[in-house]
Amino acid sequence: MRNAFFANAEGVFFIFNKILAPRLQGRPMKGSFQMNRKWIALFACVILCISVFAGCAQSEPAASVSAEAAQEASVSPSELAAQPSGSAPAAGVSVTDMAGDEVTVEKADRIVSLTPAGTEIVCALGAAKQLVGIDAYSNYPEITQSIEIVGDFNGPDVEKVTALEPDVVLAGTGLQQDAVDKLGEMGITVVVVEATAFDDIPKSIELVGKIVGMEDVAEQVTADIDAAVKSAQDNQPSEEKTVYYAMSYGDMGNWTSGPGSFINTMIELAGGKCITADQAAPWIEYSLEDLAAADPDIILLDSSMGSTEALAEVAGYKDLTAVRNGNVYAIDADVFTRPGPRIGEAVLEISEILNK
């Protein structure tokens, strides 16, 4: 079952090889990466979106939340992420991971997280000090700055991971299959914890909660997300507004989200209408002609692509209603595309934008 779960990696390779790689050649090094920061951000986001969106198309619409879940929790996910570490379960636990595999985790005193969402979940549950290794894009909360990096978007470095002697490795999808298989062959416990649909985010958080022995905290975090969704649904704007998510534009191509994606799901939960709702895939390159014809009321701009003012000067965008009316809003892709504890904050931010 795990191989089928990772099959969407082919989509990542296709987009990188056919669209991004030719444009990256000859760009200067920056830090430890071979790419300009903006191109890294775009490709990282592509990986996140394809891996996350791959299972979304067949998912059921977001379920309505209960009144109990809608009650506000005393601590937000962001605050939880910064709290001191908890402790691992005293005895081993058996779990069914997000790939559908049965895994026994003997202990979780030493954790390696291979996805930003997995890292954020561990921290939000109060187990940050159990993290001994993380991926290069795990940049939140602040404590991650002091944790060893074990790989970048090409996948984890198996030697670095094994050298850390982890009790458990929390994995995702995308380009990690080979490394995950090798780790498994070496006897290292690997659990796939990344959600592939909006509705699966609470399951992912509860799964990690069981692994680290913080199930009560996991319930609180998921309750916060449910409360955020209910708040957004209860405060939908009286007039329908059309929305477009600009993940990239210009030389990078007009890439955006489609049906089944996290972004579209959150826009719809908050009462907006996605102009890409009739598209065939959750991740698409949208033509400027179609964008002009749809003429959205609101544009959500990936913050890694620069300022809203810069977008307003680009041909094909500057004459759009959203641009002319000043309704272009920069959003943080780290918050909006990671299937983790901050997704409720993203829903509320969209709700606030729609109600302006």
The pLDDT tens digits for 306-354 are 999 999 999 999 999 999 999 999 999 999 999 999 999 999 999 999 9
Residue 266 has pLDDT above 80, yes or no: yes
Crossing angle of helices 343-354 and 262-269, in 10° steps, is 50
Six-digit token string for 185: 């062959």
R_g (Cα) of the chain, nearest Å: 20
> Span 173-178, mean pLDDT?
74
Q: How would residue 108 be classed by pLDDT, with cut points 50, 70 and 90?
A: very high
More confident residue, 180 or 118: 118
Q: Where are the domains of the chain?
A: 93-213, 237-355
Q: Of the candidates 78, 14, 8, which has an alpha carbon nearest to the alpha carbon of residue 49? A: 8
Show Cβ contacts of residue 79 under 8 Å, excluding neighbours closer than 6 positions: none
SS (H, E, C) the chain: CHHHHCCCHHHHHHHHHHHHHHHHCCCCCECCECCCHHHHHHHHHHHHHHHHHCCCCCCCCCCCCCCCCCCCCCCCHHHHHCCCCCCCCCCCEEEECCCCCEEEECCCCCEEECCHHHHHHHHHCCCHHHEEEECCCCCCCHHHHHCEECEECCEECHHHHHHCCCCEEEECCCCCHHHHHHHHHCCCCEEECCCCCHHHHHHHHHHHHHHHCCHHHHHHHHHHHHHHHHHHHHCCCCCCCEEEEECCCHHHCCEEECCCCHHHHHHHHCCCEECCCCCCCCEEECCHHHHHHHCCCEEEEEHHHCCHHHHCCCCCCCCCHHHHCCCEEEECHHHHCCCCCCHHHHHHHHHHHHCC
Most distant CA atoms of the chain, gap in Å: 61
- pLDDT for 33 equals 34
How far apart CA 110 and CA 131 sit, in angstroms, is 6
Please tell me the predicted confidence (pLDDT) of residue 74.
40
What does the pLDDT average to over 102-115? 96
Check residue 268 and give its pLDDT.
Answer: 98
Residue 342 exposure: Cα atoms within 13 Å on the Cβ side: 22
For 237-355, give the CATH class. alpha beta
Q: What is the pLDDT of residue 154?
A: 64
Q: State mean pLDDT over 198-225.
A: 97
Q: Are strands 155-156 and 151-152 parallel, antiparallel or unpaired?
A: antiparallel
pLDDT digits (tens, 9 = 90+) for 32-87: 333 344 444 455 455 445 444 444 444 443 333 333 333 433 444 444 444 544 55
Write out the two tokens for 31: 């830090």
Segment 290-300, tens digit of pLDDT: 999 999 999 99
For domain 93-213, give the CATH number: 3.40.50.1980
Q: State how far the alpha carbon of 286 is from the alpha carbons of 254, 278, 303, in Å.
A: 5, 12, 19
pLDDT at 180: 86
Mean pLDDT (whole number) for 108-132: 97
Residue 212 has pLDDT above 80, yes or no: yes
pLDDT computed for residue 89 by the predictor = 54
Burial category of 216 from C-beta neighbours within 10 Å (exposed 0-12, middle 13-18, buried 19 and up) = exposed
Q: CB-based burial of residue 315 (10 Å sphere; 0-12 exposed, 13-18 middle, 19+ buried)?
A: exposed
For residue 12, pLDDT over 50 is answered with: no
Backbone conformation region of residue 126, classed left if phi is above 0, alpha if psi is from -120 to 50, else beta: left
> Which pLDDT score is estimated for 51?
45
pLDDT at 153: 56
Higher pLDDT, 252 or 80: 252
State the pLDDT at residue 176. 76
Residue 90: its pLDDT value, please? 52
Tokens of 177: 């299959």
